[in-house]
Chain A
Amino acid sequence: MRIGKKWFKSLVLVVGVGLLVSACGSGGQQSSGTGASGSGSSSGADEKVYVVGTDAAYPPFQMLEADKISGHDIDVMNAIAEAGGFKIEWKNTGWDPLFDGLDKGTVDIGISSITITDKRKEKYDFSEPYFEANQLILVAEDSPVTKLADLKGMKIGVQAATTGEEVVKKAFGDTYQGLMGYDDMPSSVDDFFNGRVDAVVGDNGVLQYYVKKIQDKKFKLIKDDSFEKEYYGIMVKKGNTDALNKVNEGLKKIKENGKLQEIYNQYFGTN
């Protein structure tokens, strides 16, 4: 009998705490939801708020500072929304869930240094490009490597499912043993400095940002001219012309009035 009572008490406790926690969770969600729609409706009628998804782990394009998303792409998207006259709400979805969210409609617009590729175009629509990127190779300062082909047989770090990985796969095969696909770019650069990979292949913007940040370490960045130029685009679900037109309109305005260049200079210098 005593055991039964204790058992019952602990059950009540567990269920109680569970309810409390879930209540807090949903309460928080609700308040943030009303906050967003509140700011949307304050400007007038029932305006649509576009949910913009990003993977905030790709400095300096998108990153988390304290609990705020910031970076080049964030500033660009905010400027586009302002110029295009529509409301947006940010959502830090992560890379894979971003594509999934677009498929399912929980995310309207994706901006996350997404390179415009034919493969992606099959499933999604892209805006006009807002950034020109090319791949760079990060190697040790005294490395004899001068081009991508020299990396054969070496361990190469990339962020999985990015253009950097595609470039390496194209050169050395889809199942190249030395290819290490990390979840995020900073991890692969970390492991480069830990000596676990011999080189990192990635977008110029991100790697150049590291040059600025880690000046005491010895490394160099190599540009291989055989890499095709790439363009970052803003992505929507295929057929979502409403969102796409609004984005393109805003993008055109900030290209014309110099705002896009201004944001670029802020992050990457004027060169």
Chain B
Amino acid sequence: MDWSVIYEYRELFIRGIINTILLTAVATVCGTFLGLFISLGKMSSNRFWRWICSIYVELFRGTPMLVQILLIHFAVIPSIWGLLYPGESSPEAIYSGFVALSLNAAAYIAEIFRAGIQSIDPGQMEAARSLGMTKGMAMRLIILPQAFTRMLPAIGNEFIALLKDSSLCAVIATPELNYAAMNVAKSTFERYPPYMTEAAVYLVLTLFLSRVVVRGLEKKYSTR
């Protein structure tokens, strides 16, 4: 077992950590926004929106993420690019990763939002409406702030899952952390050093997410 390969390939690992964080951050932000609208769509009184958003959630929740990544990277994005900008290069692998992770996260986050919103007593909405608020105002000012507090643990869970799932982007040669470790393992024939390092870094990152980010948010939005 030769641990010096980690130092030798440190650039690959550092670049990998940065890209892993980038992938998670982008997917978290985009996924949360998209997820909010999808959850509202699923609860909409308009049958068409309900239908579209339900299909979206079932599609992205019901197919493996690895398949989604491959499909988006090798098929969907090149075809769209071919139509929009004929002859131009498709965006790099990391953009496929952004898209795939965001779309996937949105499906899960939409369900978390729906659960959170529906857990708020309908009397809250009625009371807000009777005070003269519009439906949108009541949702924004009364329902969502309360629901958000309840959703935080589940959302934290999803962010951690997202961070780990970003490792799947290695199959499309996105230079993230898992790609770095696999690459080092393949080129050096060392197995323990690269994969143990990778696992340790993921653990540090997820611990940071759960202990610092999520706990901090929970404290901030605590109602107690």
Interfacial residues, chain A to chain B (CB-CB below 8 A): 96, 99, 119, 123, 157, 160-161, 165-166, 169, 174-175, 177, 180-183, 187-188, 190-191, 194-196
Chain B residues with CB under 8 Å of A99's CB are 189
Q: Does B90 contact A (CB under 8 A)?
A: yes
**A-B contact sample (17 more), CB < 8 A, given A96-B185, A177-B15, A194-B78:** A160-B173, A160-B182, A161-B186, A161-B187, A166-B187, A174-B8, A175-B10, A175-B11, A181-B179, A181-B186, A182-B172, A183-B171, A187-B172, A190-B74, A191-B173, A194-B81, A195-B88
Q: Does B115 contact A (CB under 8 A)?
A: no
Chain A residues with CB under 8 Å of B171's CB are 183
Question: Chain A's nearest CB lies how many Å from the CB of B19?
Answer: 11
A169 contact from B10, B88, B172, B187, Cβ within 8 A: B187
CB-based contact B173/A180 at 8 Å: yes
Q: Does B154 contact A (CB under 8 A)?
A: no
CB-based contact A174/B9 at 8 Å: yes
CB-based contact A180/B189 at 8 Å: no
Q: Does B183 contact A (CB under 8 A)?
A: yes
CB-based contact B189/A119 at 8 Å: yes
CB-based contact A196/B187 at 8 Å: no
Chain A residues with CB under 8 Å of B15's CB are 175, 177
Q: Does B92 contact A (CB under 8 A)?
A: yes
CB-based contact B189/A196 at 8 Å: no
Q: Does B93 contact A (CB under 8 A)?
A: yes
Chain A residues with CB under 8 Å of B78's CB are 194
Question: Chain A's nearest CB lies how many Å from the CB of B2?
Answer: 13
CB-based contact B74/A182 at 8 Å: no
Chain B residues with CB under 8 Å of A161's CB are 183, 186-187
Q: Does B89 contact A (CB under 8 A)?
A: yes
CB-based contact A160/B93 at 8 Å: no
Q: Report the interface size for chain B: residues with CB under 8 A from the other chain.
A: 26
Q: Does B12 contact A (CB under 8 A)?
A: yes
CB-based contact A165/B187 at 8 Å: yes
Chain A residues with CB under 8 Å of B182's CB are 160
A196 contact from B8, B90, B179, B186, Cβ within 8 A: B90
CB-based contact B173/A194 at 8 Å: no
CB-based contact A196/B12 at 8 Å: no
Chain A residues with CB under 8 Å of B93's CB are 180, 191, 196
CB-based contact B90/A160 at 8 Å: no
Chain B residues with CB under 8 Å of A188's CB are 173
State in angstroms the CA–CA spacing of A166 and B93 once bound together: 22
State in angstroms the CA–CA spacing of A175 and B187 once bound together: 11
State in angstroms the CA–CA spacing of A183 and B173 once bound together: 8
Closest residue of chain A to B78 (Cβ to Cβ) is A194
Chain A residues with CB under 8 Å of B11's CB are 175
CB-based contact B92/A196 at 8 Å: yes
Question: Which B86-114 residues sit within 8 Å CB-CB of chain A?
Answer: 88-93
B186 contact from A160, A174, A195, Cβ within 8 A: A160
Question: Chain B's nearest CB lies how many Å from the CB of A171?
Answer: 15
Question: Chain A's nearest CB lies how many Å from the CB of B69?
Answer: 12
CB-based contact A187/B186 at 8 Å: no
A160 contact from B8, B81, B172, B183, Cβ within 8 A: B183
Q: Beta-carbon contacts of B1-21 to A below 8 Å, as 1s and 0s?
A: 000000011111001000000
CB-based contact B88/A182 at 8 Å: no
Chain A residues with CB under 8 Å of B92's CB are 196
Q: Which of B8, B11, B92, B187 has the most CB of A within 10 A?
A: B187
State in angstroms the CA–CA spacing of A181 and B175 once bound together: 9
CB-based contact B9/A194 at 8 Å: no
State in angstroms the CA–CA spacing of A161 and B90 once bound together: 25
B89 contact from A166, A181, A194, Cβ within 8 A: A194
Question: Which B183-197 residues sit within 8 Å CB-CB of chain A?
Answer: 183, 185-187, 189
